[in-house]
Amino acid sequence: MSFTRYKVCLQFIVTFAVLACVPTLYFLNEHAKIDKRALQTVEQNNIHKLEYAKAELQVSIDQIITAASSLSNNGLLHQAILNPTQENLENVSYLWLLVAKTQGVYSQLRFIDSQGMEKIRVNTSELRSEIVAPYDLQYKGDRKYFAYAQSLKRNQVGTYGIDLESERGQIVYPLTLGYRVIVPIELGGKRQGYFVANLDLKRIYKSLAYKRNTNNLPTIFSGNGYYILPNDGTRILGNIIDEHKEYSLSKQYPSLWRRIQLTNSGTVKEGDSWFSFIKTDITHTSTKEPLIFVLESDLSDIRPIADEERSELNTQAVFLLIIIALITFSFVTWNYNHEKNSMASKIARAAMNGMSAVVITDHNNRIIQVNEQFTKSSGYTLDQVKGKQPTVFSSGRHNQEFYMNMWKALETKGIWEGEVVNKRRDGSLITEILRIQTVTDKQGTIQFYVASFIDISHRKELEDQLRELSEKDPLSGLWNRRKFDTEIVSHSQRIKRYPDSEHVSLALIDIDHFKRVNDKYGHDIGDKVIGEVAQTLSTHLRETDIIARIGGEEFAIIMPHTSLDEAEVVVNRLRIAVNIESDLNITVSGGVTDICSKPGDSYKRADIALYESKTLGRNQVNVMASAEANSIA
């Protein structure tokens, strides 16, 4: 007896070692690759953030230039130029002050006459905005940008910079970047002067952060490698400020600088950090010197990704080793019994008394035998199903193509394995891991089909519950950003495949002045407001609509089979419903667009439309169609 136990244990150890050898080598190899894959993931994420910042900067510059052209052609300005009374000049000043406060992208708005003298000037910043008094207006005829302005042709919009702002011949401290949009103004066949808009690059820079997270802000360098917009706002323009000349890519990060000279984008390791970069040009600029966007990552960015992958890989390894152990145990047990019993009796016991439910059918696929586990799992006894085909268990969850592929595999390979949803006797559904094998005679003709399955219904229910929990926002009860991203990608793919038949709209809704609610009533009331808005949206939308909370007070709605005009009506109805059902007079703003084949473009259009609603006074809905975006582009 002792010898037999020793033999069985030794057989188990040897069999387990042989079966586990190849998987073990695989997992060791995968562990060695984890850091490299994590670095690739961080690099891809950084390049994506840099591409976002690059596109966002270009869009902002284009919008500002368009706005500057409109301001230069404004009738109030022309009237003030031709008839510079105090009233006319004040009207223009107040208009510019309103525009500067609303748009938040200017540091100065000025009209300079053809001799270089400021006639109207508005200064603005995040903290203060003012109309400059006439006695404080300055002569700018000796500035280089004025000479550049004089070279502009009629109706030509020019830009000048990037340099440092100066007042009365002295550089302004703290150091302020200067970038100007200049439009010549000609009235009555004569050049009257120039409209000059100085951009507040620091405020524009803050809008470049991916998902509005300041940690995603890149450092921006000039084409010759000097700081323009660093995160800390210091060390800028070493090519102009002698004290800053040591702060440049070539001197601080020589490896990165060498790589930048060779390619337009990439990632370089310098010291203990990785630097991802991308080069671009600001269009409309007076020079072709590129800008360089750089984003730094260190081990703290890579380690969580690597740790998560290691954890997942370890889980898979443990799970696989358990399976191998079970297979080994089954084999050793089978071999032990084989020595005591004939092959026929061993097969019969293994098939009919095992843990799996077993169904045996004849060559006409009619049931001839089942085991006790089958009865426990399905509720059917042998007498109730004998002579019938297994189609009596069909749940209707699988189409004809599914069963055709199953029979094709049985005919060609003699075996089929897969996951199947069937129906128990009481009508409830059972999810099975099903394995079907054919038994043939010496001529290869199929005589029997042996099907065995394991009930995994409980495990599937747990998986579905966990999946829903991972995709639900706990505060609002709506879907979260992860679920939204999955859904918009799915709809975009369908639209890409069926562009003429799919009509899906996207809406972004943001609670107006939500910070005031938190500040005035507290965060508990703020959370309650979010829940009430979520409830209103859910109540007034269809079950087929996807509603998600994707930010603090921001919601997204995907409306299948809905045109853009219908979506606008729906969102306006939601806007009104939110206000009516709110005890705190809550209002929302919305942006609507049609979903195209590119989910990122669809989201950006909706975000632009939402921003326009906010800019125009809130409590309204604006629409930006994909066709409109394409025409602008």
Cα 352 to Cα 381, 430, 449, 541: the distances in Å are 14, 20, 14, 53
Please give the backbone phi and psi of residue 35, each rounded to the nearest 5 degrees, phi first.
-60, -40
Return all residues near 168 (Cβ < 8 A) that are at least 6 apart: 138
Contact 202, 231 (CB under 8 A): no
Give the gyration radius of the chain's Cα atoms: 35
DSSP 443: T
Tokens of 536: 């209103």
Return all residues near 246 (Cβ < 8 A) that are at least 6 apart: 238, 252
- Based on the residue annotation, tell me whether 167 is a catalytic residue of this protein: no
Return all residues near 275 (Cβ < 8 A) that are at least 6 apart: 253, 256, 267, 268, 269, 294, 295, 296, 297
> What are the DSSP calls for 14-33, one per residue?
HHHHHHHHHHHHHHHHHHHH
Contact 598, 590 (CB under 8 A): no
Contact 417, 410 (CB under 8 A): no
CA distance 403 to 509: 45
Q: Is 211 exposed, middle or buried (0-12, 13-18, 19+ CB in 10 A)?
A: exposed
Please give the backbone phi and psi of residue 250, each rounded to the nearest 5 degrees, phi first.
-65, -30
Contact 313, 31 (CB under 8 A): yes
Q: What residue ranges in 89-238 does DSSP mark as E strands?
A: 106-113, 118-124, 129-131, 158-164, 166-167, 170-171, 177-187, 190-199, 219-221, 227-229
Pairing state between β 106-113 and 118-124: antiparallel
Q: Is 587 exposed, middle or buried (0-12, 13-18, 19+ CB in 10 A)?
A: middle
Pairing state between β 415-423 and 367-370: unpaired
Return all residues near 584 (Cβ < 8 A) that are at least 6 apart: 517, 521, 525, 529
CA distance 230 to 218: 8
Collapsing DSSP states into helix, strand and coil, what is residue 297?
strand
> What are the DSSP calls for 230-266, one per residue?
-TTS-S--TTT-GGGTT-BHHHH-HHHHHHHHH-SEE
Please give the backbone phi and psi of residue 579, each rounded to the nearest 5 degrees, phi first.
-70, -40
Contact 466, 542 (CB under 8 A): no
CA distance 351 to 91: 93
Q: Determine which one of 118, 432, 502, 553 is catalytic.
A: 553
Report how far Cα 181 is from the mean position of its chain's Cα atoms: 33
Among all residues, which ones are annotated catalytic? 553
